[in-house]
Amino acid sequence: MEQRLGIAEQARRHGPQIIDHGISFNLWAPTARSVELLEVGQPPRSMPHDDDGWYQLLSPTARAGTRYQFRIDGDLTVPDPASRFQPDDVGQPSEVIDTALLRDWILYPGRPWPEAVIYELHVGAFSEEGTYVGVEKRLPYLRDLGITAIELMPLNDVPGRHNWGYDGVLLNAPNARYGRPQDLKRMLRTAHALDIMVYLDVVYNHFGPQLNYLHSYAENFFTKRHATGWGPAVNLEGRDGALVREFLIENALMWLRDYGFDGLRLDAVHALKDDSDRHFLIELAETVRSQLAGRRVHLMLENEANQAHLLDRRQGRVKHYDAQWGDDFHNALHVLLTGENEGYYRAFADKPLDHLARSLTEGFAYQGEVFPLHDAPRGEPSAYLPPEATIFFAQNHDQIGNRALGERLSVLISPEKLKQALALVLLNPHVPMLFMGEEGAADTPFLFFADWSGEAAELTREGRRREFAHFKAFSTPEMRARIPDPCDERTFLASKLDWVRIDSATESLEFRALTAELLRIRREQIIPLIKHGFVTAERGTIQSGGLDVRWRTANGETLQIVANFAECELPMPPPVDGIDLWRSRASSANVLVPGDIVVRLYREA
């Protein structure tokens, strides 16, 4: 067990701190008049505070496992905002967890970033159990498929029985619906024993709308200087902002250090408003990399602003963030596959083939050009970045779940097009990601679900229907009535994977075999090229529906991908010398049939 800190060293640290003779309880409540510690089994105790609003009390009776709450101004009872576990939901007492006992003293070394093949999943919807144990049981299956990393949608605790996790209330408390902290740790250990990395999605740009008590005693946690789509922004500036930054950075360190996660994906970082000289994102990355030096920790972004500088390399090594989710690639590919042009697809519908080709060769499609949806420039030049600085996918939780009916590509396009998309995602040199069940052409929807109650539930229902009012398919109240109620438990249950079908249906087994074969080719042929380093990338189009993209490594190797997204045959462009790694459709050497994709590789002797 690690050496415990003394009481003086515990001051101004968020959350309960275990020391040799008890627990030091700490709460930053700058706008509270008084705070009492309500330790279960003990009388209420007033907590002294300093001029900056830090309330602290040493309890000699508390131990790991003790449950407690705080009472604000003699009236409002709240959980610890830095709680490590909420066994009975977020509005109930917090439990002291000795996170030091979760740490591994011989750490899993992780894998190099170019080897990442990511599988995104929601713990509650991935398995029948809806728990960490349910995920753990499927890890050998994912290993055998060729998956090298799983990415868990947010685990931070939220009110109710089910939620996507992006409206978190207690960031440090893994959701008790999935199991205890020890269950989560065991799942990570099992994954690491199978050489599978585990990443976690974290949300620092806003808090959930229900049972978030921070406004009641720490108004300074938020600021009116900036606004987001979820209300006032999290305060990251000035003296109070420094304490908020510490709270969020300590959360990142907790997941990586105590639980042993191998990386984090930061949600919607464009909503992290910060005019400080040193942006919060830079401080977070530098702190993580300095405190966890020697470990392979991968940091990923979702960033609508396409800020390439956050992905910079220094002498070939990652400086701050390893990669960003490639939404431009996805959006252009989706338009080509489905023909849809509403919502955010409108920004890619004019030249989807050009947008896709530019994403493949330069990372971003929008690199400072005017973005039609915002009528303002979006993005920064990204052609200098290596391909592995962007994560490409044909589906993810957002792009499925943000649809009114949560349809996957498997019910929107033909099996031939689905195979084409799968091959394109898995055999290009960018880091690939699959969404749970995609490898088996799952047809279960993934809908937006939450377990709000009262006004929050009604606002969510109405907001969901209003969001789709401008789509042709939902232009009338009768049409919008078909949109599933996010707060109905049946919506959550409909989103759970059907493993009976994935494990037995002929089409599912065919896609599973295809996925495994494509990942074998990636492992044996594509990853060595990424490690050698690509120095040039060229793109071209074939008439109005074909793609011809080529990358060249410093060793003189050339990778070529040719694809036909049209509904007619197209001429095959001149292939590079070498061999076919993959061809999806049986056709002549000079013709690309609809849905065809050819991947060729040339290596100098």
Strand pairing class (579-583; 197-202): unpaired
DSSP structure class, residue 576: P
Name every residue whose Cβ is closer than 8 Å to that of residue 118 and which is 6 or more positions away in sequence. Answer: 147, 148, 149, 150, 151, 199, 391, 431, 432, 433, 434
89 is known as an active-site residue = no
Note the helical H segments in 71-180.
Answer: 123-126, 132-145
* Active-site option among 39, 267, 548, 557: 267
Helix (H/G/I), strand (E/B), else coil: 531? helix
Name every residue whose Cβ is closer than 8 Å to that of residue 517 and which is 6 or more positions away in sequence. Answer: none
**Edge-to-edge order in the sheet of strand 579-583:** 534-542, 546-553, 558-564, 597-602, 579-583
Residue 514: its H or E element: helix 506-521
Residue 180: burial class (beta carbons within 10 Å; 0-12, 13-18, 19+) = middle
Is residue 138 a contact partner of residue 51, using CB atoms and an 8 Å limit?
no
CA 323 vs CA 188, 318, 391, 432: distances in Å: 22, 9, 6, 11
443 is known as an active-site residue = no
Name every residue whose Cβ is closer than 8 Å to that of residue 73 and which is 6 or more positions away in sequence. Answer: 32, 33, 34, 217
Residue position matching structure tokens 């970033």: 113
Is residue 53 a contact partner of residue 242, using CB atoms and an 8 Å limit?
no
Q: Which of 363, 416, 316, 412 is nearest to 537 (CA)?
A: 363
* Active-site option among 302, 328, 388, 557: 302
Note the helical H segments in 368-488.
Answer: 397-401, 415-427, 454-467, 477-480
Catalytic residue annotation: 267, 302
